[in-house]
Structure 1
């Protein structure tokens, strides 16, 4: 036996016809975003609420779009040329000169690390790869979706700091190209 047509329609729509009509010029109320959920970004399962991941995904999509539009795959240059960080030589000249031989107050700062980097595991990896002893590592997650790490070497000589900086500057860590600079201990951020 066929169900009552009127009750079948009301059951399927959930609202009466009068409730579904919106006046002209008004838009339907937007649905709230889901509170919980997961999303895949670059083959990794992450929380849908992770702002850093969403920013990186949007940035990578924008970069891919720029590369497609630019002639011969060269990315567009927008705005003024970025300034070079202190202590980083230009790509054409690998010469590095230090006039201050005292490096007792110097440390290395690693920029653009992934969020949630463990200080102890970072210290272990850096020691193994650089073949030098590291005294202390401090990691700070930033609201921009990346993290920075301050690294103090046990043997703080200008040559050793520069060797370790060159080793890791421009390295690919967790899918991100990091930047490493040498700074004075007084220039670091407080934690």
Structure 2
């Protein structure tokens, strides 16, 4: 077994392996010396070698640059158009009303369910979570890799359909975000 001393870790010139690595086709580039001392970032006095501070400073410069570009682009946009913040989905109008009071022919359709959903287990889960009485559930697997479910409520009312729809629309079920709509019984596809 070889002795474990520092002479085996260094070559004859006395440099470590990391010090001997140079870029292909060139020599070692000299790095500028690290500035020591203090710096002001956003009005605060901080250490000049603090990496987190340097990252925040760079980030704030980039944010300022993008804000300037955005303000230049706003002068050409329609002032009457509603503004939407980036990254947030557009929120729909919470006002819901119907002119037809008869809901006996209405049902809920659940889109983007996982393939192979069991109708009975889906019915049980929906009843427990919504506290609504469900007459029947029909699930259909689609060639697109998702499934849809038609859900009929027992003696449905418009208010009850909207309440259940609002409860489940946008929910995460088996790792998928589902969509729920209310349709007329005559609009559904046959099974």
Q: Who is 1:100 aligned against?
A: 100
Give, in whole Å, the separation in 1 of the partners of 2:165 and 2:159: 10
Q: Which runs of 4+ in 1 moved over 2 A?
A: none
2:113 matched residue in structure 1: 113
Which sections of structure 1, spanning at least 5 residues, go unmatched? 1-70, 72-89
Residues 48-87 of structure 1: pairs in structure 2 closer than 5 A = none
| Shift of residue 135, structure 1, vs aligned partner | 0.1
Partner of residue 122, structure 2: 122
Q: What residue in structure 2 maps to residue 155 of structure 1? A: 155
CA distance in 2 between partners of 1:144 and 1:99 (Å): 35
Cα shift readout 1:23-46 (whole Å, capped 9, x = no counterpart): xxxxxxxxxxxxxxxxxxxxxxxx
* Residue 138 of structure 2: aligned partner: 138
2:170 is paired with a residue of what secondary structure? coil
Aligned to 2:184: 184
- Residues 115-151 of structure 1 deviation map (CA, whole Å, 9 limit, x = unaligned): 0000000000000000011000000000000000000
- Over the aligned positions, Cα root-mean-square deviation in angstroms equals 1.3
TM-score, L = length of structure 1: 0.53
Corresponding pairs, count: 103
TM score, norm. by length of structure 2: 0.53
List per-residue Cα deviations over 1:143-176 (Å, max 9, x = no partner): 0000000000002100000000000000000000
Please, which runs of 5 or more residues in structure 2 have no aligned partner?
Answer: 1-65, 67-89
